[in-house]
Amino acid sequence: MAQDWQLSELLENLHADVQHKLTTVRKSFKHSVVKGDGAENVWVDLFNQYLPERYRASRAFVVDSQNQFSEQIDVVIYDRQYSPFIFHYAEQLIIPAESVYAVFEVKQTLNKQHIDAARKKVASVRELHRTSLPIPHAGGVHPPRELIGIIGGLLALENELKISNKLMGHLENDQADKGMLNIGCAADDCFFYYDNDHQRMQVMQHKKATTAFLFELLSQLQKCGTVPMIDIHAYGKWLE
C-alpha cells in the first residue's frame, strides 16, 4: 500500500522544523552566549542529519601544518572519510585545514555587521596553508589533487536587510577576496549564493529558505569533489 506522502510537505516540514528551533532558541535563552550556542547546535544538527556520511559538521578551530590557527568557527563542515586525524583538546575540536569543505558564522540576524564578522572568520580559514600529496592507486600514482575552494557562509534566523538590493550591496565582493561569502541563509526570509555561471551574487526570497539553502549547499559541496591527501609528515615535524 502506497504511503500518502507528498515531497512538498516533507520539504515544508524540514524548513518549519529548523525555523521553529531557531525561533525557540532566540525567545527562550536570554544569555547571549547560550543563545549563540543553541543556534549553532540547530545548524550543526541539520547538517549532520541531512548531509552525506562523508561530511561532518562541528564547532571547531582549524589548524595548518605551519602551526597557524583560525579563529573559532561556529560551524565547520569537514571530511570524515579520508581525514587521518581530528584533534580533541580541552573540550575543543581542532581540524586540519586540508579536511575542511565549508565554514559558517552563525548569528541571530543577517546584517552588515554580521556579514563583516563572517568574512573575517572565513578569511582566517582560507589563509591557512594546505598540503596535497600524490595519490597512489592500483595503476600507479595520481598527481596531487588541486586544492578545493573552501565554501564560506553566514547563517541566521532573521534578515534585517529586507531590501534585496541593500543586502546584495553588502554581500558583493571580489572573488579573489579571502573573506568572500559563497552562500548563506536567513531562515525567515531568504538564502543567497554566488552564481559562478553568471559571476554574481544571487539573493532569493523563499518561503522555505532553509530547505532551498540546503539544496544549494549540497550542490556546492558536490562540485568541491574530495579533499586532498594530507601530508602527515608536514604535521609530524612538530613532534621534534
Catalytically active residues, by annotation: 74, 105, 107
Give the containing element (helix H, strand E) for 36.
Answer: helix 32-50
Cα–Cα distance for residue pair 130/67, rounded to 1 Å: 11
Note the helical H segments in 103-179: 112-126, 164-171
Three cell numbers, residue 154:
553566514
SS3 state of residue 118: helix
Q: Which is nearest to 184 in space by CA: 145, 225, 214?
A: 214
Whether 67 and 238 have beta carbons less than 8 Å apart is answered as yes
